[in-house]
Amino acid sequence: MTIPIEADRAGKNRDASDQGNKTLASAAYERIKADVTSGRFAPDQRLRIEDLRNAYGTGASPLREALNRLAAEGLIVSVGQRGFRVPSVSIEDLRDITNTRILLETEALRRSIESGDDEWEVRVVAAFHRLTKVETGERPEFAIWEEANRQFHEALLSACPSRWLMKFYDTMYDQHRRYRSMSMQATSAPRAVHDEHERIKDAALARDVATACRETELHIRRTAEIDEALLKQQIDRD
């Protein structure tokens, strides 16, 4: 069967258009996700399509696709015909997210340490070196520190063989990041966060699973305690 030339061209044009929309939707997804998890969008803030179009220079269709994807992941909330909004924050939610992240991250870390080879060790050392340059230099922008911090934690877990465990961990990391961004940007309380990272790194490279997991839990809980204190202050003011 011979496909008419014009029909073939139309099909290719539709394919190219669909691919272009997917690319735009993916880019919009990443930008909105970054702005939600970094705290640029405030809790309960409405995410209006027109406002997002002006902010990102993206069409309504890719934006709706991105917003629906983020809503399915729980990073934003769909409010029916009223559109979308940023989720609320609460002490109960923070505690739930914190406990779930600890369960997932310590299990992934255990599996990663047990499965890690020489290349895994190189990734951990390299990521810690980059993080050290950020944390021991002049006070960096939050986004720069956050990227180095994420790369360090990802390197530690990079030998974990469970795809599903890592998928759920990524979701909880992003949920926790929304609270963490508030504590890192809104408080100047002294904290030896680099020492915490170093203890985790040393235990992981020594293949000391119990110590690495314990230090990881303490590290996450210290951040959550700061977040919770800030939330309580906000509640008291309101």
Span 90-120, pLDDT tens digits: 999 999 999 999 999 999 999 999 999 999 9
Span 138-190, pLDDT tens digits: 877 778 988 999 999 999 999 999 999 999 999 999 999 988 877 665 555 56
What is the layout of strands, in order, in the sheet containing 84-85? 46-47, 84-85, 77-78
Percent of residues, the chain, with pLDDT higher than 90: 68
pLDDT number for residue 16: 41
Span 33-83, pLDDT tens digits: 999 998 889 899 999 999 999 999 999 999 999 999 999 999 999 997 778
CB 106 within 8 A of CB 155: no
Q: How confident is the model at residue 15 (pLDDT cuts 50, 70, 90)?
A: very low
pLDDT number for residue 81: 75
**Which residue, chain included where needed, has tokens 């109960």?**
92
Whether 103 and 29 map to the same domain: the answer is: no
Report how many domains make up the chain. 2
pLDDT number for residue 80: 79
Question: Is residue 2 pLDDT above 70, yes or no?
Answer: no
Q: How confident is the model at residue 231 (pLDDT cuts 50, 70, 90)?
A: confident
Whether 141 and 45 map to the same domain: the answer is: no
Task: Pick the range with the lowest mean pLDDT from 112-121, 181-190, 200-209, 224-233.
Answer: 181-190
pTM here is: 0.82
Question: Is residue 233 pLDDT above 90, yes or no?
Answer: no
Whether 174 and 223 map to the same domain: the answer is: yes
> Which of 40, 67, 85 is where one domain is finished?
85
State which residues form the domain around 42: 5-85
The string over 56-77, giving b where at least 16 C-beta atoms fall within 10 Å of a residue's C-beta and e elsewhere, is bebeeebbbbbbebbbeeebbe
Which domain CATH number covers 143?
1.20.120.530
Mean pLDDT to the nearest integer, 11-20? 47
Whether 224 and 188 map to the same domain: the answer is: yes
Residues in the chain: 238
